[in-house]
Amino acid sequence: MTGTTATVAERLAVLRRQQAFAAADEAALAGLIAVRPPERMPRPDPVWDDAAVLVHEVVGERYRRLVLASATIATTALAGQFLMITVPPALGERILLPRPMAIHRRHPEQGTVEVIYGVAGRGTTALVDVGVGERLLVTGPLGRGFEFPDAAGPDAAGPRPARTALMIGRGVGVCAIMGSVEDAARLGIDATVVLSGRSRANLIGSADCAELGATVIPVTDDDGSSALAALGERLRGLFAGAPPDVILVCGAGVLARLAAELGAEWGVPVQVSLEAHMACGLGYCHGCAAPVATDPAVEGPLVCVDGPVFDAVLPAG
Amino acid sequence: MTIAPPMPPTDARRAFFDARRAFEAVNLSVRIGSLTLANPVMPASGCFGPALGRLIPVAELGAVVTKTVFGTPRGGNAAHRLTELRAGMVNSVGIPSRGAAGYLAAQHPLYLALGVPVIVSVGGHRPGEYAPVVRGLRGAGDAYELNVSCPNLDRHGTDIGSDPDAIGTVVQAVRRETDKPLIVKLPVLVSSIADCAQAAEAAGADAVCVANSIPALPLTADTRSPVLGNVIGGLSGPNIRPVVLRLVWLAARAVDIPVIACGGIETADDALDYFSVGARAVQVGTASFGRPFAMVEIIRALQERCEGAAAADIAELIELWRA
Ligand SMILES: Cc1cc2nc3c(=O)[nH]c(=O)nc-3n(C[C@H](O)[C@H](O)[C@H](O)COP(=O)(O)OP(=O)(O)OC[C@H]3O[C@@H](n4cnc5c(N)ncnc54)[C@H](O)[C@@H]3O)c2cc1C
Ligand SMILES: Cc1cc2nc3c(=O)[nH]c(=O)nc-3n(C[C@H](O)[C@H](O)[C@H](O)COP(=O)(O)O)c2cc1C
Ligand code: FES
């Protein structure tokens, strides 16, 4: 779109659309986010490790997959937790801050975890140069992940464990929910996973979902199926009369809002994983303020320790 | 959904804890007023938290320094609060604080449990706000670091620490509250660092810390709009080292009290640069984010350097180079 033949007016229009989209995506979270109640499971202690890079390969058109060896992290990480990855100095580039990355897959038997990243800015561009056999400094597992809350039982029967889940991921946001797809497979929870991306060649997670026995709904921008209205109608139709017990979402503010709307209609809880610029990942630098309006005299929640997973609840009214 | 591992797996962190060894012939201890630190390496304010105690052997540090505590609770700035540019990292965290009472209740016990001296960083928006915070801390902490790199609301927002008179006012007022060692943490943008350091010394400070981060304005690469919610923030990291090195050199020539260097320190060599221009201790900030164990690595390397050169301390090591 921004090729050299485009006029200034055309390029400006594209940029403005991108900016408007980014602003709308941020605005969609307004009033939506709440810190989750204390988790039922104790959180594992994070460690740092010199993780050997076992695989580093291109995935689709825009992403790369890393398989990292760290037995401690692989055996303790909970669904939806993340790592801080320190990017080693590349040719001419020093990356000071570690980059937060979702733990896409856990393989405790092999002592490995998988991460998928998109090449976006300086940090991820420098990460591309890390070779198989080299070591990456990683800290984790970090943050509060997704949980399957008990569902309200019929009448007075009381709560019961979740049986079905709808998960929605877009772009690299899919990585944050894949741990929950793993958990669902182990717990016998029926998982329906919406994978959203620009095009079929850019969808993350199809093979993982197939392996884990989850039902996939691929939606893309190029055929319009990822458009919010279309996706909303499709999900309302699919779950008519039998809503999922929980909705987990990551990757776009507008998708979190759609999920919160569906959750309100169906009366089911919604959890969303958020991103923020981070330095420490441990809660002490106070760099990762969550988009939650609070009293100016009180610090709001931090994405790295109070999240990255929050409840998404439609504001009243 | 915790999967209990059959055997606790080992990781690089554990190996790092185990690699500690004693250096009998080396003495890295340093005095800050009445306080003796086992070695001269400590975190920079805002770049450390008790949570690091699980990741690094904090007991090996000379001291820990808290995030700046203000008298009344503050929320902190809007997102984004930090970013990274080619020039370094820029933060505009805005110093969220629970106030002195909140710090005492929620944070101080966690710092105390670390088992090393705790230096509490204290902030204010007016020269008169520092002493009440120290009073509110009710004796908690082994020393106080007065973060005077804060806009002075009594003087149209010029930094308190760029005004030698204001520095004197702050230190004298705090001195009346406590006998504990006082460190004055100076800003980078001052017309004379020597005047500022001397004002602190004359008013009864036991050390100066040089320096805080450097005011900066980061823009996005594509639209050249501000990255930070607060528009401006503080630049830190290795690129500020030569700038701060000059300031430390100037300050160390101007005062007899110890100068604690802070700015871009990542390795023992960086620390030795500062020691060689007169610093008596060092603080490590940004480097800990990417390498949480950086401070401990520096301490161990300083000990090894001294041992390798058969020097009893850092002063002897530097003398040996010069000879
Ligand atoms: C909990 C969490 C999980 C994440 N999981 C993934 C993942 O699985 N795969 C993936 O590709 N990316 C993920 N991200 C985003 C990732 O951390 C990178 O920051 C982002 O890809 C930007 O890449 P960069 O470092 O090349 O950008 P740069 O331009 O080099 O970044 C400059 C600064 O901005 C910050 N920044 C820029 N964009 C983002 C962003 N979207 N989110 C957070 N910080 C940003 C960087 O951390 C850095 O401080 C995650 C972020 C969070 C908070
Ligand atoms: C995220 C962050 C938070 C900081 N918070 C404080 C603070 O609360 N009080 C203070 O005096 N300095 C604060 N600083 C400044 C550091 O203590 C230090 O002076 C500065 O970062 C330079 O050192 P460095 O290059 O080693 O990081 C902060 C720096 C960073 C990066
Ligand atoms: S990243 Fe440091 S507090 Fe969240």
Tens of pLDDT, residues B113-160: 999 999 999 999 999 999 999 999 999 999 999 999 877 667 666 789
B91 is in an annotated binding site: yes
Contact (CB<8Å) A286/B46: yes
CB-based contact, B223 to chain A, within 8 Å: yes
pLDDT digit string (tens) for A37-62?
988 878 889 999 999 999 999 998 88
pLDDT for residue A41: 79
CA B164/CA A292 separation, integer angstroms: 40
Q: Hey, which residues 203-242 in chain A have their CB within 8 Å of chain B?
A: none
In angstroms, the separation between the Cα of residue B3 and the nearest Cα of chain A is 6
pLDDT digit string (tens) for A114-143?
999 999 999 999 999 999 999 999 999 999
CATH 3.40.50.300 at A47-142, yes or no:
no
Residue-range domain boundaries for chain A: 47-142, 146-273
Is the shortest distance between the CB of A288 and ligand 3 below 6 Å? yes
Whole-Å CA distances, B85 to B160, B226, B228, B229: 28, 12, 12, 16
Ligand 2 neighbours, Cβ below 6 Å, are A 279, 285, 287; B 44-47, 67-68, 82, 89, 91, 93, 95, 121, 147, 185, 212-213, 236-237, 240, 262-265, 284-287
Return the best residue to mutate from A277, A302, A306 for the ligand 1 pocket (most ligand atoms within 8 A of CB).
A277
Contact (CB<8Å) B73/A276: no
CA angle (A246 as vertex; A243, A249 as ends), nearest 5: 115
CA A191/CA A33 separation, integer angstroms: 24
pLDDT for residue B153: 67
Q: What is the DSSP string of B210-241?
A: E--PEEE--B-TTT--BSSTTS-EEEESGGGH
Which residue, chain included where needed, has tokens 């060599």? B269
The answer for residues whose C-beta is within 8 angstroms of residue A189's C-beta and 6 or more apart is A148, A162, A163, A164, A165, A183, A245
With cut-offs at 50, 70 and 90, classify the pLDDT of residue A152: confident
B237 is in an annotated binding site: yes
pLDDT for residue A280: 98
CA B96/CA B108 separation, integer angstroms: 16
Point out the ligand 2 atom lying closest to the alpha carbon of residue B67: 8
Which among B52, B76, B286 has the least Cβ separation from residue A96? B286
CA A124/CA A66 separation, integer angstroms: 12
In angstroms, the separation between the Cα of residue B323 and the nearest Cα of chain A is 35
The two domains A47-142 and A146-273 share their CATH topology (first three levels equal)? no
Contact (CB<8Å) A96/B10: no
Q: Which residues pair with A102 in a beta bridge?
A: A82
Give distance in angstroms: CA of B295 to centre of ligand 2.
15
With cut-offs at 50, 70 and 90, classify the pLDDT of residue B1: very low
- Tokens linked to A103: 């733990």
Say if residue B283's pLDDT is above 50: yes
Say if residue B240's pLDDT is above 60: yes
Say if residue B74's pLDDT is above 80: no
pLDDT digit string (tens) for A72-95?
999 999 999 999 999 998 767 899
Length of chain B: 323
Mapping DSSP onto H, E and C, the string for B236-281 reads ECHHHHHHHHHHHHHHHHHCCCCEEEECCCCCHHHHHHHHHCCCCE
pLDDT for residue B5: 46
Domains of chain B: 30-294 (3.20.20.70)
pLDDT for residue B323: 84
Rg (CA), chain A: 20
Output A44 or A67, whichever has higher pLDDT: A67
pLDDT digit string (tens) for B75-126?
778 889 999 999 999 999 887 778 999 999 999 999 999 999 999 999 999 9
Over residues B217-222, the mean pLDDT reads 89
CA B31/CA B13 separation, integer angstroms: 31
Say if residue A1's pLDDT is above 70: no
Q: Hey, which residues 22-61 in chain A have their CB within 8 Å of chain B?
A: 41-42, 44-50
CB-based contact A303:A275 (threshold 8 Å): yes
pLDDT for residue B145: 98
Strands (E), A16-60: 33-34, 47-59
Say if residue A15's pLDDT is above 90: no
Whole-Å CA distances, A11 to A23, A205, B221: 18, 33, 16
Q: Among A181, A277, A306, which would you mutate to test the B interface (most chain B Cβ atoms within 10 Å of its Cβ)?
A: A277
Q: Which CATH number fits domain A146-273: 1.10.150.530, 3.20.20.100, 3.40.50.1820, 3.40.50.80?
A: 3.40.50.80
In angstroms, the separation between the Cα of residue A296 and the nearest Cα of chain B is 5
Taking the model in full, what pTM does it have?
0.95
Active site annotation includes B262: no
